[in-house]
Amino acid sequence: MVLRSSSWQQDDRANRSRSPVQYSPKVSYKDHAGRNSGPRRRRRLPVAFLLAATVCFLAVWRYIGGFPSDKTLSGRPYAPISAQTSSWRDAFAFKSSARRKRGDLAVATRLQTSKHPFRLPEELLPVHHEAKRMLYHNGPLARTRPPPNQFLRDPHADLSQPVVGIITATNNPRPVMRETAASLFAQSLQNFVWVIVNDHSTEAASAAILADLGKDPRVHVITNADRQGLAEGRNIGFEWLFAHFDPAPRFLVSLDDDDLFEFTALEKACWTLESNPTWDLAGFRYIKWGAANETVMTGLHSHDANFKVGNFVPNAAVYTSRAVQSSGCRYNEKEFHRGGEDWDFWMCLAEHGHWGGSVLEPLYWYRMNPTSFRASRWGKTFENGFESLKSHVQRRHPSLADKFPSKVPLRSVQLEPVTWTPPFEQAIAHTDKQIMFVAAWLYVGGADIGLMHMVELYARAGYRVTVVCTLNKVPEGIELRPWIMQYTHDVHILPSIVRAHDMPRYLVNLIRTRGIHEVIFSNSQLVYEMLPALVEQVPHIKWIDSFKTDTQKSQYLHNEAYDGWKSGGYPRYSIMTQRFLARTITCSNYLKDWLLERGHLNADRIGVVKLGIEASHFAPATPSHRNAMKESVLGVEPNTIVITFVGRLDPQKRPLLVPKIADELLRRIPDADFIIVMLGDGDHLRKLKASVASLELEEIVRVEGMQQDPSEYYAASDIFFLPSVSEGISIAVAEAMAMGLPIVTARAGALPEQLGVLPTKTRTAPNELGGILVSHTLDDEKDAILYAEALEKLMLDPKLRSRLGHNARKLVKDSFDWRTTLSGLFQETEIAENLPGHGATLPGYPHPAAELAIQTLLFEMSRETDQIGYYP
């Protein structure tokens, strides 16, 4: 919509009562409309007459197409507005039909993926968040990212009360403004209004850009007919919003005409403000790109450094309208016409007690223009004149020197009430191909890489995938996020967005707004324990379609707990909550049997889908290639036996046992020429290095750290070794098997199954296995001897190494590519079905409330609860 400021300013002020502080005292307007701004007397009409007229109007409207029956994206909720529109009242000639009431979440428009396909490009790049790895050409609209149509505006959503008001003042916008628009129109929060203030543009190409953008029903282009300037234009945007919406949009954004948002930026920032009601500003980490590149880690969370050192608040930070209205703060064009008006504005809000914090992920891309362009806008203000600018800002807001309103997230408290009502509507359409994956976090580990492959598999099949993590541990807990974001824009680390008591509501809102059909979750204690409430909140959602798509909770189980946690870990949770699960999917027959032996009631409701590997990437090395890799990668002679360990350095993998095994091997074979190479990172890294040093094994045991691609190390290896307490289907073991390496590992968990032991009473002959299984005792001294014995056999017998390595390769080469193994997920999710009455009483099925109540008492008051507590 294209409007002039003079066409609405006088007429609306005459009939609207507002506090003087809600208007900028520095902004004046010329009255081009020539209307009497005084109050008018109006003749009252009978209520019955008004109702009858309304009914007739609606009938005619429906007849001419005001209420389209087909829910497509072809129609626009508003009539086209030309640049000659003389009144804002004419601009609001609504044509939209499905005006839904707030909170009516179940009737979002459902669009067919066949008409709105989601297609990944052939070349994809990871979306890094660390400065040292940042790809500055890989912004949200890059061709190496998922397509920008992941989130589609619901064409029948009620947009009359936008959640966010976005203000952009522009003078002769360049073609890059279309990119800014594209990043807005792709947002996961579609319920916004964008006020573009045309600040004395004169170029025909710029007028064409504004006319095109004005075709979107949420865009209102108004002309600044008064004094030119960025601050002036933004203030006009404020007044327009406050005059035309009552109440005003809850959140505001001042967006430059050439910058970009990540597609979940508005949603996450608004939720952060909702979850922290004492905050009035929400920023993010952001990326400067273009003429210069930088990943900016400072922000609102830098507290008073924003006053004492410099302006670290992102230009496009989200702020509340209540802060603007109560403070009276506006952009100051008179004193900051050469730049710095945004810094002064933020400090004005701070001086009135309004501040906030940051979503600690990069969600905003700030375009760095060439020096010549910046000089034309701001001169040398940010070069030679920065200190004088800082002094000027500090003089204007002196109270902040001693009392800055720093804020941090409110601390969550136990048993804080949980609400489920969403804070706002997002106006996203649903599609018929949506799925959600929930995990605890995104480590670089076997199960997590399996999750990444699942996300890719579904995304390449045209699904719009949502990924949620219920825990946050920086940096290792988000290591895999850059690769997950190759396939979806929709990744949510809950603790970085909302406080703990809002996580349930946020998760349910994601399910509802995206129109999720299935949720596959793994290793999330939060989801397991919330299942009764989740089933109540998102019960049997049925779509009118060719197949039944109840909202299902499927779970992918990788391994039972190795340390006794929760009496079996997540598989124990699975048994306890099975009444609420549509299906359980494990990675091995071993784990399926484990569940059935311990109380799972129905084998037909358990599926087996193995994780798989990138099979084409792993092939046995020829003897000459292995010798070459030994020299180039490890710097050792061809005759040196290389034993490789790959895994996280945590108690499950038992890395601290390795130096003891090496020491035992040296005792057994004093003249042996061998090294043990350890790849991985984790909590036991320091202890491992200390143990290696204490035994003087630095030349024998090499701790190489995490390697994104271990294939070169596999190629240089003779034996693969993993002394885990227990494993599901180990990705590292599978990779080593694909490389033709003999395996030495534990006879525990699913490892026997992986090395060729069949899940029947018929045992596979030892010479058909892919390695040697060690019956460990979990006593370090005894197990060091047992593993050393197994390794000694392989070190002294090249033919045995060759035979077992050949067996290992044979077991995985034809059937263990992840695209083949994980394709079973499609069938498993399709046949998943909730039990009838799964949220009600089901005789024979456990209810987790009882188990969790006992667990809490045993944890908090063990002696007073357990019979053995005071037993003599």
Q: Bigger pLDDT: 613 or 765?
A: 613
Mean pLDDT check: name the lowest of 227-231, 385-389, 595-599, 700-704.
385-389
Mean pLDDT check: name the lowest of 80-84, 157-161, 362-366, 492-496.
80-84
273 and 320 in contact (C-beta within 8 Å)?
Answer: yes
Binned at pLDDT 50, 70 and 90, residue 97 comes out as very low
d(CA 614, CA 532): 38
Q: Would you say residue 139 has pLDDT above 80? A: yes
Q: Would you say residue 56 has pLDDT above 90? A: no
CATH code at 2-32+71-95+152-401: 3.90.550.10
- The pLDDT of residue 551 is 37
Q: Would you say residue 94 has pLDDT above 50? A: no
> How do residues 731-743 score in pLDDT, each as one tens digit?
999 999 999 999 9
- The pLDDT of residue 616 is 86
- The pLDDT of residue 20 is 28
Q: Would you say residue 340 has pLDDT above 80? A: yes
> Where are the domains positioned within the chain?
2-32+71-95+152-401, 621-816
Mean pLDDT check: name the lowest of 374-388, 540-554, 796-810.
540-554
Q: Is 790 exposed, middle or buried (CB count within 10 Å of its CB: 0-12, 13-18, 19+)?
A: buried
Report which residue type is found at 387: E
Kindly report each contact of residues 237-241 with a partner whose C-beta sits within 8 Å and lies 24 or more positions away, as own/partner: 237/165, 237/167, 237/168, 237/169, 237/195, 237/197, 238/24, 238/167, 238/324, 238/330, 239/9, 239/23, 239/24, 239/27, 240/5, 240/8, 240/195, 241/165, 241/167, 241/193, 241/195, 241/321
> How do residues 851-862 score in pLDDT, each as one tens digit?
878 877 887 888
Report which residue type is found at 841: T
Binned at pLDDT 50, 70 and 90, residue 524 comes out as confident
492 and 264 in contact (C-beta within 8 Å)?
Answer: yes
Model pTM score: 0.81
CA distances from 328 to 19, 185, 252, 322, 353 (A): 9, 30, 14, 10, 12
188 and 491 in contact (C-beta within 8 Å)?
Answer: no
d(CA 223, CA 2): 8
Mean pLDDT along residues 112-121: 96
Mean pLDDT along residues 322-350: 95
The 10 Å Cβ neighbour count of residue 453 is: 21
- Which residue from 354, 315, 374 is spatially nearest to 180, judged by alpha carbons? 315
Binned at pLDDT 50, 70 and 90, residue 863 comes out as confident
d(CA 84, CA 94): 18
850 and 856 in contact (C-beta within 8 Å)?
Answer: no
Q: Bigger pLDDT: 563 or 250?
A: 250
- The pLDDT of residue 187 is 99
Q: Strand 674-679 relative to strand 701-705: parallel, antiparallel, unpaired?
A: parallel
Average pLDDT of the residues of the chain: 84
> How do residues 534-575 score in pLDDT, each as one tens digit?
988 888 642 211 222 233 444 545 455 444 555 557 888 889
d(CA 15, CA 246): 13
Tokens 């807001």 identify what position?
397
Q: Strand 164-170 relative to strand 192-198: parallel, antiparallel, unpaired?
A: parallel
CATH topology of domain 621-816: Rossmann fold (3.40.50)
d(CA 573, CA 566): 8
Residue 795's SS3 state is helix
DSSP per-residue string spanning 286-348: EEEEESS-EEE--SGGGTTHHHHT---S-TT-EEEHHHHHHH-----TTT-TTS-HHHHHHHH
pLDDT-above-90 percentage for the chain: 62
d(CA 95, CA 74): 13
Q: Strand 583-586 relative to strand 552-557: parallel, antiparallel, unpaired?
A: parallel
Mean pLDDT along residues 157-178: 97
Mean pLDDT check: name the lowest of 29-43, 260-274, 321-335, 658-672.
29-43
Q: Would you say residue 484 has pLDDT above 90? A: yes
- Which residue from 480, 483, 526 is spatially nearest to 505, judged by alpha carbons? 526
d(CA 746, CA 744): 7
Q: Bigger pLDDT: 40 or 647?
A: 647
> How do residues 568-593 score in pLDDT, each as one tens digit?
578 888 898 899 889 998 888 888 99
